[in-house]
Structure 1
Amino acid sequence: MIPARLAAAALAATAAFALLPAAAAHAEFDPVRYVALGDSYSSGTGTGDYFDPACRRSARAYPQLLADGLNAEFTFEACSGARTADLLSTQLGALDAETDIVTVTIGGNDIGWADAVKACLTPLADCTDEIEDSERLVQLQLPGLLDGAYGAIANRAPNADVYVLGYPRLFNGASTCGALRQPSVAEQLLMNEAADRLAGVIRNKAEEHDFTYVDVRRAFEGHAICDDVAYLNGLAYPPSESYHPNAMGHQNGYYPAIARAIV
C-alpha cells in the first residue's frame, strides 16, 4: 500500500503535468526553445542516474521534466559544482534572441555552503563560524556576482522569460537521523536561517533584473532530511549525492513549482 503522504506527493507531480498542455500543443508548430543553466540543483545531482557523469546531468532533473512537459527544444547546460564564473564562461553559448525560456539555480557554490555543511557534520564540532562565513559572503559578495550572471543572461537572451529557482531548506529543524546524528537541531536551525537569507538575496537580485523568482522552500516543507518522505538526500555514498534533492525532490518539489510559475 502506498503511504498517504507519498501518494499525495505523486498526485501533486501529476497535476503539474496538466498545467502545461497549451504550451506543449503550441510546441507542435513552433517549439519552445528552453535552456537550463546553473549548478547541481539544476543538473540533477542527487538523483543517482546521470547521462552526463562529468556534470551529473540527469533525465530525472526538473529541467528535463519541464522540457518534456513543454515538448521543448531543449539545451541542458547546468553542471554540478558550477559557480557564477562557470556559468559566465561555459554555459551561455546556447542563449540567443530566439531563446524563449531560461531556468537557473546559481550562487550556492559561491558562498562556501558545501564547506559549512561538511563542518556541521563533524561530531563534537561547532560549525557556527562556517555558517557565519557563508552568510557574510551572501551579504557582501553574492549580490555583485548575481548581477553579473543575471545581466549576462539578459544580454544573451533578451526575449526570454527567465526563471530563477531558489534552494530549499535542508533540514526540518526538529530531529536528527543517520549514524552520526549530525548536524544537531541547533545547527539545523542556523543553517535554515542562512538558507532564508540566501533566498532573500537571490529573490531581490532576480526581481531587479525583471526575472521571475521561484521559491521552492514551501514545496519541500515536510520533506526535508530526516522527514518520513524526504525530497533531499542526507549523508550518502558517493558523497556527491549528499544534501541534494533526490528524484522525488525534482519530480514533486522543483518541477511543480516551475510549472506553476510558467503557467
Structure 2
Amino acid sequence: MRRLRRAATLAVAPLAALLLVPAAAQAQSEPLDYVALGDSYSSGSGAGPYTDLLCQRSEKAHPSLLAEELDAELTFAACGGATTDDVLADQVDALDEDTDLVTIGIGGNDIGWTGAITACITPFKNCTPQIEEAERKATEELPAKLAAVYDAISDRAPDAEVYVTGYPRLFAARNTCDAFGQISIAEQRAMNEGADLLSSVIEAAAENHGFTYVDVRDAFADHGICARTPWLHGFTVLEVPYHPNALGHRDGYFPTLLAAL
C-alpha cells in the first residue's frame, strides 16, 4: 500500500517537487498491480473506441487513464452490462495476493436503472413505477449484493487498496433538449434523486468494508446531458446513451479518482 501511495503522490506532484526527491525513492522495483472491476461506467461504454467490443472496454476509460498515470500494470476486467453476480462469477478471479490497487463501480444494473431510464424516454409513459422499483431494490437488495462482492475482493486481494466509484447524476433538471428525447424536467429530477439514493447505498457499503468511496457527482455537476459541455451522452443511436463520454472519464472520473489516491 505504501508503494501505491508513493506512485499516486509522484503522479500529481509538480516537476519542481519531483526534482527534490531522491532518484531511489522515485524508482519502483516493479509496476503496481492494478485490477479494474465493474460495469459499463468502468469499462468505458460510451467513451470509445473499444479494445473489446463485447465488454466495451475503452482506452479512454478512467481505469486506462489511471494505469497510464501511475505506470501500473492494468488487468481490465470491468465489462459493460455487468451485475454484482457477474463480478463474482467472472471478474474477481483477476485478483490475487499481489494486487496493489482495485477500483470497482457496480450496482446500477442490479437495480434495473437502465430499465427506468428507458421507461422515462418512452413517450406518454409514466416512469415513476420503474424509478420507485429501482429505489426499492437499491435499499432492500443491493446492500447484501455489494457486501458479497466487497467480501470477495478483501478475501482475494487482502493487501490491496480498494476504491469504489459511484455514478453521476445524469441531468441538470433545468431544461429539456432533443438529446434525451422525452424526459421531462420532473422526470429528470426523479432520476437524479434515484442516483443520489444509489450513491448513498454504495457509499455506506464501501465504508462498512473499509474501502474508499469516490463520489463523482460534484465533478459532473455542470456537465450533465444538454449542458454546454456535456460529459454524458443523451439519447443517441451513435454511441451508448446515458453513459459518460470520453470527457466524462478524462475530466470527471479520472481526476476525482486520482485525487482520492
TM-score (norm 1): 0.89
Q: How many angstroms apart in 2 are the aligned matches of 1:27 and 1:123?
A: 58
Do 1:19 and 1:259's aligned partners in 2 also have CA atoms closer than 8 Å?
no
Aligned positions of 1:86-165 closer than 5 A: 86-165=86-165
Q: How many angstroms apart in 2 are the aligned matches of 1:191 and 1:20?
A: 40
Q: How many angstroms apart in 1 are the aligned matches of 2:202 and 2:179?
A: 34
1:18 pairs, out of 8, 12, 21, with 12
Aligned positions of 1:137-216 closer than 5 A: 137-178=137-178, 181-216=181-216
Q: How many angstroms apart in 2 are the aligned matches of 1:170 and 1:234?
A: 9
Deviation per CA, 1:136-175, whole angstroms, max 9, x where unpaired? 0001100010010111011000000000000000000111
> Which gives a bigger RCO, structure 1 or 2 (Cα 8 Å, sep 6+)?
1
Is 2:237 the partner of 1:243?
A: no
Q: In structure 1, give the amino acid aligned to 2:233.
A: N
Deviation per CA, 1:211-246, whole angstroms, max 9, x where unpaired? 00000000001000011100000011146x000000
Number of residues of Structure 1 aligned to a counterpart in Structure 2: 244
Do 2:121 and 2:183's aligned partners in 1 also have CA atoms closer than 8 Å?
yes
Deviation at 1:20, TM superposition (A): 9.4
Q: In structure 1, give the amino acid aligned to 2:172.
A: N
Q: Classify 1:122/1:106 alpha carbon distance in 2 versus 1 (closer, same or farther; 3 Å).
A: same
Deviation per CA, 1:96-133, whole angstroms, max 9, x where unpaired? 11111000000000000000000000112211010001
Q: Classify 1:27/1:123 alpha carbon distance in 2 versus 1 (closer, same or farther; 3 Å).
A: farther
Q: Classify 1:181/1:148 alpha carbon distance in 2 versus 1 (closer, same or farther; 3 Å).
A: same
* RMSD of aligned alpha carbons: 1.8
Is 2:46 the partner of 1:46?
A: yes
Deviation at 1:182, TM superposition (A): 2.0
Deviation at 1:19, TM superposition (A): 5.0
Stretches of structure 2 lacking an aligned partner (at least 5 in a row) = 1-9, 19-24
Q: How many angstroms apart in 2 are the aligned matches of 1:100 and 1:124?
A: 50
- Aligned residue for 1:257? 256
Q: Classify 1:26/1:100 alpha carbon distance in 2 versus 1 (closer, same or farther; 3 Å).
A: farther
Is 2:75 the partner of 1:75?
A: yes
Q: In structure 1, give the amino acid aligned to 2:255.
A: P
Do 2:48 and 2:60's aligned partners in 1 also have CA atoms closer than 8 Å?
no
Do 2:179 and 2:234's aligned partners in 1 also have CA atoms closer than 8 Å?
no
- Aligned residue for 1:55? 55
Deviation per CA, 1:48-84, whole angstroms, max 9, x where unpaired? 3101001000000000000000000110000000000
Q: Classify 1:76/1:26 alpha carbon distance in 2 versus 1 (closer, same or farther; 3 Å).
A: farther
Secondary structure (helix, strand or coil) at the match of 1:149 reads: helix
Q: In structure 1, give the amino acid aligned to 2:206.
A: A
Secondary structure (helix, strand or coil) at the match of 1:218 reads: coil
TM-score (norm 2): 0.90
Q: Classify 1:106/1:247 alpha carbon distance in 2 versus 1 (closer, same or farther; 3 Å).
A: same
Stretches of structure 1 lacking an aligned partner (at least 5 in a row) = 1-15
